[in-house]
Amino acid sequence: MVEEQLLPRGITDKRVIEAMLSVPRHFFADKSMEAQAYSDFPLPIGEGQTISQPFIVAFMSQALALTGSEKVLEIGTGSGYQSAVLSHLVDRVFSVERISTIAQKTRRLLDSLGYSKVLIRVGDGTLGWADEAPFDAIIVTAGAPKIPSKYVEQLGEGGRLVIPVGPADTQELIRITKKDGRTREENLGSCRFVKLIGKNGWEEGGRIGELL
């Protein structure tokens, strides 16, 4: 997976590569999909959610420019695979998942694999995790119609936010860097994610929710 999918496509951060080598991806896939766990595409995990393809997990992790001491907010815990990768790269991971059954299953899996650095909260991910802010980095694993202002508010000085933004069918991966109270935006390329559902994202029926 690393040699064929990641290295040829520009994943050069040695720490990210080591993390991808260290996390057993097949544990995070459904039993019926284990044989395809290391393939170059996303996999369904139930409840209309997916585990992202290996490349996008590595690419987003690399885009955060992590050094090891960071406090990171993850929006969309899902299977826990991205959480596990991040736990090899940072000090603590605070992850928000809106579907309680997925959060409970993932908590049990992470505990069984010894990923104690990951804290999971069930709630509306579009609101962030204000009680634990500010964060050194925020990663959003679902597509938003616009960037929720809560994320920028909860990003610390020098922090990086990586988030897919755009229509439901395709998005652009955006990196926001916060410095001296100002933000700088970069477009990292096109991508496709499930919808970011919540007050400051998409509503369940697909309409855009209220943006604060």
Which of 21-30, 57-66, 76-85, 196-205 comes out lowest in average pLDDT? 196-205
Domain annotation covers residue 200: no
How far is CA 41 from its chain centroid? Answer: 16
Q: Is residue 7 part of a domain?
A: yes
Q: Which of 52, 79, 83, 87 is the catalytic position?
A: 52
Q: Please report whether residue 196 resides in a domain.
A: no
Average pLDDT of span 89-104:
97
Q: Which of helix, strand or coil describes residue 65?
A: coil
Report d(CA 43, CA 171) in Å as an integer. 19
The count of structural domains within the chain is 1
User: Catalytic residue at 95?
Assistant: no
Please check whether residue 69 lies inside any domain of the structure: yes
Write out the residue range of the structural domain in which residue 63 sits.
2-191
User: What is the Cα–Cα distance from 34 to 25, expressed in whole angstroms?
Assistant: 9
pLDDT tens digit string along 159-190?
Answer: 999 999 999 999 999 999 999 989 999 999 99
Q: What is the pLDDT of residue 28?
A: 96
Alpha carbons 195 and 182: distance in angstroms, whole number: 27
Query: Cα–Cα–Cα angle for 4, 6, 9, nearest 5°?
Result: 100
Query: What is the tens place of the pLDDT at every residue in 113-146?
Result: 999 999 999 999 999 999 999 999 999 999 999 9
pTM comes to: 0.94
At 185, which CATH number?
3.40.50.150
Whether residue 110 lies inside any domain: the answer is: yes
Kind and range of the H or E run holding 191: strand 182-191
